[in-house]
Amino acid sequence: MKIIRQRKMVLTAFFVLALAPCVFAGGRGQDKPVAGVCWYNFADTFIANARSTLNKAAQADGAIVIRDADSLGEIPTQTSNVNNLLTQGVNILAVNNINFSGKAELITLAKNNNIPLLIINSDSPSEAEFALYDPVYHISSVADQSGRIMAEHAVKYWKAHPEADRNKNGKLDYVMLLGLVDHYDTQARAKYSIEGVQAAGISTNLVQEAICSYQRNEAQNQVASILQARQDDVEFIFACSDDMALGAIEALKAAGFFKGPGTFMPVVSVDATAVAVQAIKEGTLLGTALNNPVILGNATYKVMKLLLEGKEINDANLAIPGTRVVGHHVYIDFVPIDAGNTAAAAY
């Protein structure tokens, strides 16, 4: 405990001495501190909501100016965005990181520029990477939870609907739609969803796995191609985001599903965006997991403000329901959403 207290005192002193002057200097041409934010893709529905929330929080509070950038889902673009923001003289950097092997370099950049770094809605730095520089925080949902929630939806439906085994082989034959290559969230969702189904005593068979990069159109095209070749083999679709699930549903509709009795195809996903919740109400999406973008946006802003004020990041200071602070992590818990509790997805 003594070591932890000493570390907190050093951290507070660091911000008071090193960052407080930035409050007056701000970013270049600003009289307020500037936070540079690199989002992975403005067009992503979840990201659009989180970005809007963060910007609104900053505008309402008036203490920090947000400068954000769209990485368009491309690592080189994100790298360029980060360098441009650092050149502009931001006081804090937040990155919705997609260069999963480049976290150490990102942390070193923040250290060299003497500014705090937030890695948001992405996989966490390792302990060795955290040790490179103290003012680094990870703000994200718990990907393992989302995979387990997809499994819960699948198990509940499969056990209640024996007709779901369309080919009568005694196995849940599924398609898995993945997000970004090497993205921890997509890996965890794929892993824990299927492990959860198997743990419930249900045999599974992977019909096909498709990388759709969290894109709705890509998922629609990929699923259309799969159905054209192997429609009779598909009994379930796991999508690692709502946008991909909605694309899959459009392909399923075109193939004759959701047209009446005996044409339902269970699809489960993650995010609980407004359009996905509407799909649940319409009876095309079986279930999802609420990954609350409002909490992400508000938590990101609050952590920025606490850091620039030299205050400790803890549950009491953060004071945002649905979050848990564990060391340098701010975790956001998922909530299962299906037809029985769509109101819980309102944000």
**Does the pLDDT value for residue 79 go beyond 80?**
yes
- The sign one gets for the Cα dihedral 262, 267, 268, 274 is negative
CB 173 within 8 A of CB 215: no
- The sign one gets for the Cα dihedral 141, 145, 147, 151 is negative
Distance of CA 113 to the CA centre of its chain: 27
Q: Write the DSSP assignment of 42-78 as a string of letters.
A: TTSHHHHHHHHHHHHHHHHH-S-EEEEEE-TT-HHHH
Question: Tokens representing 334?
Answer: 């998922």
Please name which of 175, 267, 215, 281 lies closest in space to residue 46, comparing C-alpha atoms: 215
Q: Which amino acid is at 63?
A: A
Q: Which amino acid is at 32?
A: K
C-alpha 263/C-alpha 314 separation (Å) is: 49
Taking only the tens place, the pLDDT of each residue in 213-246 is 999 999 999 999 999 999 999 999 999 999 999 9
**Does the pLDDT value for residue 313 go beyond 90?**
yes
Instruction: Specify the pLDDT at position 25.
Output: 30
C-alpha 37/C-alpha 171 separation (Å) is: 45
**Does the pLDDT value for residue 2 go beyond 90?**
no
DSSP state of 164: G
User: Would you call 151 helix, strand, or coil by DSSP?
Assistant: helix
- Give the mean pLDDT of 316-337: 96
**What is the phi/psi pair of residue 230, to 5°?**
-140, 40
- Taking residue 149's Cβ as centre, other Cβ atoms within 10 Å add up to 27
Where would I find the H helices in the chain? 2-18, 20-25, 45-61, 75-88, 103-112, 127-130, 143-160, 184-199, 216-230, 242-254, 274-282, 293-308, 315-318
Question: Tokens representing 274?
Answer: 């407004």
User: Would you call 263 helix, strand, or coil by DSSP?
Assistant: coil
- Give the mean pLDDT of 120-137: 96
C-alpha 173/C-alpha 265 separation (Å) is: 12
DSSP state of 16: H
Instruction: Specify the pLDDT at position 30.
Output: 63
- Give the mean pLDDT of 115-140: 96
Q: How confident is the model at residue 182 (pLDDT cuts 50, 70, 90)?
A: confident
Q: What is the pTM of this model?
A: 0.81
How far the first Cα of the chain sits from its last, in Å, is 38
Instruction: Specify the pLDDT at position 31.
Output: 85
Walk me through the domains of the chain, giving residue ranges and CATH numbers.
Answer: 2-141+292-333 (3.40.50.2300), 144-290 (3.40.50.2300)
Taking only the tens place, the pLDDT of each residue in 28-58 is 446 899 999 999 999 999 999 999 999 999 9
- β-strands 117-120, 136-141: how paired? parallel
Taking only the tens place, the pLDDT of each residue in 269-309 is 999 999 999 999 999 999 999 989 999 999 999 999 999 99
